[in-house]
Structure 1
Amino acid sequence: DSGSNPTYYHYKTIKLWKISERDRRPEGYNLKEEDGTLRNPNSVTTLRVPILQPMDLMVEASPRRVFANAHTYHINSISINSDNETYLSADDLRINLWNLEITDRSFNIVDIKPGNMEELTEVITASEFHPYQCSTFVYSSSKGSIRLCDMRAAALCDRHCKLFEEQEDPSQRSFFSEIISSISDVKFSHSGRYMMTRDYLSVKIWDLNMEKHPVETFQVHEYLRSKLCSLYENDCIFDKFECCWNGNDGVVMTGSYNNFFRMFECGSRRDVTLEASRESSKPHMVLKPRKVCAGGKRKKDEITVDSLDFSKKILHTAWHPNDNVIAVATTNNLYIFQDKVN
């Protein structure tokens, strides 16, 4: 298979890459030798029909287009539209709409930059197109709100169609409330009926028809609530964790610290914590569920909150659209796991 994917580059520039796979190579050229050197045309007395020979699979990525000079701040999101002609890119204050064929200009669809930057109260943290409604997209903010916009309503989508926001319990209010409520990622379900948001401590599932509160909330690492002060001092509280759905929207996945990643089954209370590390992730090895001891007496296989390594974090996760194959990125390693095949 071959395809094209935009990707981040130098924080403010976008590159379109063509990704292709090759498992055969042509042999029997007429005008060049097998090592690539050109033959003298006068010495060619017979014509050969080139044939394709099997070879080891090669994956190649080649740059096709560069989209630049449209963002003042670092790009946090790229999302391809279901029309397969356009895509959006978002930074802290603006969201731009691009045509995949036009590299030198884009159309600004959201601009929250105030006239006076001292009046700035929130920034855009993530944005994504709806999976099949090509005029609809969402963007999240550092204040914990998600805005659903429709490009048919106005050229500049500064006014949202729907606002998804959960009111905070006043008894839980603290100095860190605003920081941990900032949304680091938003993802539509494949069905388009739901969306998932990730903040610092939790993953929330929203029904697009219900704006007041999420239908489900999963605590990713609630045991860190008592550690927010030290997490603030070492800047970990500003880490931006991503999240993803599995192929049938039944399970969600997101990362945590100590190279742990979490999976939650929608509609039930089932969840699991797994670890991506060289020691526990040898080929064909079954991953063992991990448990964190938040207080009281520690059991044999549990790890205490105080012994978690906050320098080891999984910020990026991805799930294959059809198969039970996942990818998780630790600080400097990429792990690919697949469901146990019986």
Structure 2
Amino acid sequence: MNNGGDGSSGGGGGGLTAPPQPLEWKFSQVFGERTAGEEVQEVDIISAIEFDKTGDHLATGDRGGRVVLFERTDTKKNAGNQRELERMDYQVSRHPEFRYKTEFQSHEPEFDYLKSLEIEEKINKIRWCQTANGALFLLSTNDKTIKFWKVQEKKIKKICNMNIDPSRAVGNGSVASSSISSNPKLCLANGGCTDKLYNNLNALRLPTVTSHESSLAARCRRVYAHAHDYHINSISSNSDGETFISADDLRINLWNLEISNQSFNIVDVKPTNMEELTEVITSAEFHPIHCNMLAYSSSKGSIRLIDLRQSALCDSHSKLFEEHEAPGSRSFFTEIIASLSDIKFAKDGRYILSRDYMTLKLWDINMDSGPVSTFQVHEYLRPKLCDLYENDSIFDKFECCLSGDGLRVATGSYSNLFRVFGCAAGSTEATTLEASKNPMRRQAQTTPSRPSRSLSSITRVVRRGAESPVVDANGNSFDFTTKLLHLAWHPTENSIACAAANSLYMYYA
């Protein structure tokens, strides 16, 4: 294991002879950008981001219980031009572009009368499921309830080709008098008709139903409730397309998508005596290929890989991944910062990426002796752990993500910064970006020998009310009020979506 300075790595990229060149990141789009001085409403803050497997759709959830969907547009509008350019041997250069598709209210605030507990509507996680018949399916969850949504285009049908004179129409859609009754003299006594009346009768036709336009409709197909005593922190769809898991602090449940009133408890770490509780589950995810395997992380910094074929109750793990602390390095904050806030499988399932408070670690599932790569995210904050503890920032849960090719990883930090690291063998790529229209303006210069000197160039000071950033002895400022917790990497392109408060920023390389 290579565990060097800021952004060190030790080979997790699949045996390349030479690491790829560092990427040059550029701003692509922003949705919901704030104007200067605009007050951000709590309900508008983004709390979940997820691309679907194709990368053609992106979903976000917010603290107000809303789910917003975006769809990719560049593949459609450039499809014809791309084929022409390819015939002419032109280099096709494009990056993912998205547009707003639809939104719907997924969760509402609730109250548990049995436990006298308020359940907020905040979306904790969103996970896409397999599509069918052109419809989109996704799971969303708050602290207690999971919902299965179907989003589909529905054509609006209208009745047209009616023989109605608009000047004679009344409010209910009928006519005040028909063309026949308005000309009674045209009817002959013996029942015959004049030519004019005969022509009017021939002109009559039945109304027809036509589809003029379509609209997106979101329908809740299933509600999975009353299965968790503690707050749900994770949901994960299985590769079999039929099941998913949900995890809270002490249990992991297995569900069938079609059955909402029954789940199977597959992991239970709750001790008989709650005073003996030493760790809790922090994140759980299914293996992307093998439907019988899943992994979950704990507050002690360990990752357990379990196999559903071994037993119905998977209290015993098949593999345990944990890094033992160096002798004499233990402090009051050791256990707090070791807690894993997120884990992600690589696309091929060979590696697991984990995020604790200070670092990213890349694990090979075939090697449990230690991580193959360790990346220092914000090592310069280590002297400020007391301040972070006092303002509860040390308990912030940062997410992590991997590129589709497995060559790079990314995670967020404070001052709306996020970092991208190369994890191929020999790579030294470590890029710091800011969630703004100019992401490189806060680029950090990697100087492991004097890390504090790079801090002034990457932090962004934002004063809000009486709050002010913490300033250290070197004059470097830390803004703990702006944090980039949620981000996602496009499954096939070098494109990252990240959330800064209520704004969704997108970048490409």
Q: TM-score per shorter chain, which class? A: 0.7 to 0.9
Q: Equivalent residue for 2:149? A: 17
Q: CA deviation at 1:49?
A: 6.1
Residue 422 of structure 2 is aligned to residue 272 of structure 1: no
Residues 118-133 of structure 1: pairs in structure 2 closer than 5 A: 118-133=275-290
Q: Over residues 318-340 of structure 1, what are the superposed CA-to-partner deviations in whole Å (9 max), with x where a residue is unaligned?
A: 1121233321112332222333x
Q: Equivalent residue for 1:322? A: 492
- State the superposition RMSD in angstroms: 2.8
Q: Equivalent residue for 2:52? A: none
Q: CA deviation at 1:97?
A: 0.2
Partner SS state of residue 432, structure 2:
strand
Q: Equivalent residue for 2:206? A: 46
CA contact (8 A) 1:31 1:39 kept: no
For 2:238, give the aligned amino acid. Answer: N
Q: CA deviation at 1:297?
A: 5.4
For 1:15, give the aligned amino acid. Answer: K
Q: Equivalent residue for 2:443? A: 290
Going by fraction, where is strand more abundant, 1 or 2?
A: 1
Q: Which has the larger radius of gyration?
A: 2
- Deviating above 6 A after TM superposition, structure 1's stretches of 4 or more consecutive aligned residues are none
CA contact (8 A) 1:272 1:289 kept: no
Q: CA deviation at 1:61?
A: 3.6
Of 333, 336, 342, which aligns to 2:506? 336
Q: Equivalent residue for 2:381? A: 224
Higher RCO by CA contacts (8 Å cutoff, separation 6 or greater): 2
Structure 1 residue runs without a partner (length 5+): none
Q: CA deviation at 1:266?
A: 1.1
Residues in 2 aligned to 1:300 and 1:218: alpha-carbon distance in whole angstroms: 21
Of 112, 135, 159, which aligns to 1:29? 159
For 2:147, give the aligned amino acid. Answer: K
When residues 320 and 302 of structure 1 are mapped into structure 2, their CA distance, relative to the original with a 3 A threshold, is closer
Count of matched residue pairs? 323
Q: CA deviation at 1:18?
A: 1.8
CA contact (8 A) 1:256 1:314 kept: yes
Q: Equivalent residue for 2:416? A: 259
Residues in 2 aligned to 1:26 and 1:59: alpha-carbon distance in whole angstroms: 10
Q: Over residues 148-177 of structure 1, what are the superposed CA-to-partner deviations in whole Å (9 max), with x where a residue is unaligned?
A: 000100000000000001111124221100
CA contact (8 A) 1:31 1:38 kept: no
Q: Equivalent residue for 1:234? A: 391
Residues in 1 aligned to 2:382 and 2:402: alpha-carbon distance in whole angstroms: 25
When residues 236 and 30 of structure 1 are mapped into structure 2, their CA distance, relative to the original with a 3 A threshold, is same
Residue 138 of structure 2 is aligned to residue 5 of structure 1: yes
CA contact (8 A) 1:126 1:139 kept: yes
Partner SS state of residue 83, structure 1:
coil
Residues in 2 aligned to 1:142 and 1:296: alpha-carbon distance in whole angstroms: 29
Residues in 1 aligned to 2:494 and 2:220: alpha-carbon distance in whole angstroms: 29
Of 90, 94, 100, which aligns to 2:251? 94
Residues in 1 aligned to 2:508 and 2:153: alpha-carbon distance in whole angstroms: 21
For 1:68, give the aligned amino acid. Answer: A
Q: Which 10-residue stretch deviates more, 304-313 or 64-73?
A: 304-313
Residue 200 of structure 2 is aligned to residue 68 of structure 1: no
Q: CA deviation at 1:62?
A: 3.2
When residues 329 and 206 of structure 1 are mapped into structure 2, their CA distance, relative to the original with a 3 A threshold, is same
When residues 302 and 121 of structure 1 are mapped into structure 2, their CA distance, relative to the original with a 3 A threshold, is closer
Identical aligned pairs, as a percentage?
54
Q: CA deviation at 1:287?
A: 4.1
Q: Over residues 93-150 of structure 1, what are the superposed CA-to-partner deviations in whole Å (9 max), with x where a residue is unaligned?
A: 0000000001111000000000000000000000000001001001111001111000
Residue 340 of structure 2 is aligned to residue 208 of structure 1: no
Structure 2 residue runs without a partner (length 5+): 1-133, 165-170, 179-203, 460-470
Partner SS state of residue 107, structure 1:
strand
Q: Equivalent residue for 1:149? A: 306
Residues in 1 aligned to 2:452 and 2:317: alpha-carbon distance in whole angstroms: 47
For 1:184, give the aligned amino acid. Answer: S
Partner SS state of residue 84, structure 1:
coil
When residues 197 and 21 of structure 1 are mapped into structure 2, their CA distance, relative to the original with a 3 A threshold, is farther
When residues 170 and 46 of structure 1 are mapped into structure 2, their CA distance, relative to the original with a 3 A threshold, is same
Q: Which 10-residue stretch deviates more, 248-257 or 198-207?
A: 248-257
Q: CA deviation at 1:187?
A: 0.5
For 1:270, give the aligned amino acid. Answer: E
Q: CA deviation at 1:39?
A: 5.4
When residues 40 and 219 of structure 1 are mapped into structure 2, their CA distance, relative to the original with a 3 A threshold, is farther
When residues 93 and 222 of structure 1 are mapped into structure 2, their CA distance, relative to the original with a 3 A threshold, is same
Q: Equivalent residue for 1:83? A: 240
Residues in 2 aligned to 1:165 and 1:298: alpha-carbon distance in whole angstroms: 31
For 2:396, give the aligned amino acid. Answer: D
For 1:290, give the aligned amino acid. Answer: Q
Partner SS state of residue 433, structure 2:
strand
Partner SS state of residue 29, structure 1:
strand
Residues in 2 aligned to 1:209 and 1:298: alpha-carbon distance in whole angstroms: 37
